[in-house]
Structure 1
Amino acid sequence: MTKQWKLKEIVLMSILGVVFGIIYLLFFLVGEGIRNILAPFGLAPFGYEIIYGVWFIVSIMAAYILRKPGVAFTAEVIAGVIEILLGSAAGPGLLLSAAIQGAGAEFVFALTRWNDYRLRVLVLAGISAAVFSFAWHLYSAGMIALAPWLIGSTLIVRIISSALITGVLGKWLSDQLAKTGVLRGYALGKALQRKRQYESA
């Protein structure tokens, strides 16, 4: 399978980046709402962590659908650019965060030489994005000043969120999309077609 991107793959990756850039921005409001609910209990730092996996999902979905080097990283960066253009309060620094998150996901796919897209790999890619982003946020967001138990707890929650939302949900959404037939010309759609042919043989 050629590793070069085709025009239709670039278009799809861009569409996914735009759609999830909008979703990411909306989920900042969701995270803020959860944070406000948890604040009276002293658990405000967990507000965003519970849903943090949402912010990595486009990297996993794009990579799972297209199955080519650089897709996870690029899709996440595109989503970050869209957030900035739409007026995210995080500002231009968000682009660096998006790049680090995308690099975290891309790292796992690179370890498999972009040949393994089973659920466990997608989950690991989501977890890797969580760990990369958490390491960055320790200093960029001042999380290093939190109590050690709180740092450890928020990391665990972010990892669980990423495993479930980014990995499991990301795969499920992609599979459902593929079943509609709109991904017939892409790697995931072709893999699904081969599986059907094998099962019917």
Structure 2
Amino acid sequence: MKNWRLKEIVVMSALSVVFAVVYLAFLPVGKVLVGFFGPIGYDFIFGIWFIVSIIAAYIIRKPGAAFLSETIAATIEVLLGNAIGPMLIITGMIQGLGAESAFAMTRYKYYNVQTLMLAGVMAAVFSFVWGYFTSGYAALSSTYVLAMLVTRMISGAIISGLLGKALSDALAKTGVLSSFALVKEQRRKNAA
């Protein structure tokens, strides 16, 4: 967290707390979808569980923002009572690493919509590999497992990438992020 300003740490932490609550709120939605569609039900909305990593990275634009925000959110979620317990912190770290990997591929220089969608896809892939070994996906048919992976990747791209960008841009328009990298870049583009 070298070269991080205090307000960046505070905003990242606040976002993580807010999305920990959002994550908990979506668990019953996922259970309903599983009831209708089977295990793939969660994958339709799985992108919601990586969204803070994309939002924090898009706003702050520093190495580690995606990983740290997702790890903090998972820790808060455990403290709020997620039934999975401490194992969820490892899951959050893996999801954060997935999103972080997309920004690292661009050397933290590009935060366009394609990179944000890629971050959602990478979080989906990392989380899916982890889930494959911890959630018993091996017992399912390979066609079904592939459908789960593709669905999760689409969810990551759309919910985390596109919705994350839209929420961040809307927050930037309120003026509360005026000293953050996101707004500074928007100003530069508007001035050009």
Band of TM-score, shorter chain? over 0.9
Residue 52 of structure 1 aligns with which residue? 46
Match for residue 156 of structure 2?
162
Deviations 1:168-193 (A, max 9, x none): 11001101111111110100111122
CA RMSD of aligned residues (A): 1.2
Quote the Cα distance in structure 2 between the aligned partners of 1:194 and 1:181: 16
Task: State the match for 1:128 in structure 2.
Answer: 122
SS in structure 1 opposite 2:68? helix
For 1:8-157, what aligned pairs fall within 5 Å after superposition? 8-36=7-35, 38=36, 43-157=37-151
Aligned AA (1:53): G
1:79-132 CA-to-partner distances (Å, cap 9, x unmatched) read 000110010011110000000000000011111111110100010011000000
Residue 63 of structure 2 aligns to a residue whose secondary structure is coil
The residue type paired with residue 27 of structure 2 is: F
Q: Does 1:175 align with 2:174?
A: no
Question: When the two structures are superposed, what TM-score results if normalisation uses the length of structure 1?
Answer: 0.93
Unaligned runs of 5+ in 2: none
Percent identity (aligned): 53
SS in 2 for 1:139: helix
The structure whose Rg is larger is 1
Q: CA deviation at 1:4?
A: 1.4
Q: Distance in 2 between matches of 1:44 and 1:80?
A: 24
- Work out the CA distance in 2 between the residues paired with 1:54 and 1:144: 24
Post-superposition offset of 1:45: 1.1
Q: Give the C-alpha shift of residue 196 in structure 1.
A: 2.4
Q: Extract structure 1 runs of 4+ deviating beyond 6 A.
A: none
Aligned equivalents of 1:149 and 1:107: distance in 2?
27
Shift of 1:195: 2.2
Task: Please list every run of 5 or more consecutive structure 1 residues that lacks an aligned counterpart in the other structure.
Answer: none
